Chain A
Amino acid sequence: MKKFFLSIALVLLNCISLFAEDKIEVFPSVRYEQFIVYQNLVIFWIAIIGLIIIIRMKLREIERIQKMGINKEEKDIPLLD
């Protein structure tokens, strides 16, 4: 008996959408296209994270050689007169 009333209630609830106006599709509704969108999002994030890792590698290398003092001028370096 409870199940019967529950199913009626659900049907009636879904009927509310009949009164809704045409909702404008701001996102592809086709499953296939949605799949492509999410797939591309994942690829994009992988690319971003990959680039961040590469930049970190570059940064570490730069800090390594900066620590070695490549920037500082040697004090007693002979001048070319």
Chain B
Amino acid sequence: MKINYSLITRRTFLNTLFGGWVFAMLSGSIYALLKFAFPTLGKEPDFVVLNANDFLNIPPNSVKPFAWGGKLGFFFKKEDGVITALKGVCTHMECNVTYKPEQKKFYCACHKGWFDEDGKNIEGPPPKPLEFFDIKVEKEKLVVARKGFTFELPKA
């Protein structure tokens, strides 16, 4: 059925077409720009590979820091020699924590929060325990991975 009048005016049609096209091009370009300007917002790695020799020989009841993406990670050897790794970031407001070997606790100076050596939040504002990682030692390499991350490196 053909109607003998137009549902929209020529002006509206052209303006909408123009505006829509400009909007599409602009948003595409701005998206590309923003992706460049804000590359990996908040993304953390799934795993990091470290040199085993640098870490395994630290004295018991001490930590050695490593880079977990842009954040602080701790390689932790407990008093009894058990090795583990955790994210050294306070669960309250993301300040870096420090290890106090005399008390065997992790301390966050920002709001005086305390965690025990298993990361459980025992005092102060932190609402959750510290995040621990899985570690695996393969020959010369120490692989620190997110808990539950199963895919491992092929032989490099």
Contact = CB atoms under 8 A, between A and B. Distances in A.
A48 B25 CA distance: 8
B149 interface: no
A55 B22 CA distance: 10
Contacts of A51: 18, 21-22, 25
Interface string A19-56: 00000000000000000000000000001101100110
Contacts of B14: 54, 57-58, 61
Contacts of A47: 21, 24-25, 28
Contacts of A58: 14-15, 18
A47 B21 CA distance: 8
B11 A54 contact: no
Interface band, chain A:
under 10
Interface string B1-21: 000000000110011011001
Nearest to B15: A58
Contacts of A61: 10-11, 14
Contacts of A54: 14, 17-18, 21
Nearest to B19: A54
Most buried by A among B10, B14, B15: B14
A51 B23 CA distance: 11
| A-B interface, 8 closest residue pairs, ranked by CB to CB distance from nearest | A58-B14, A54-B18, A51-B21, A47-B25, A54-B17, A54-B21, A58-B18, A57-B14
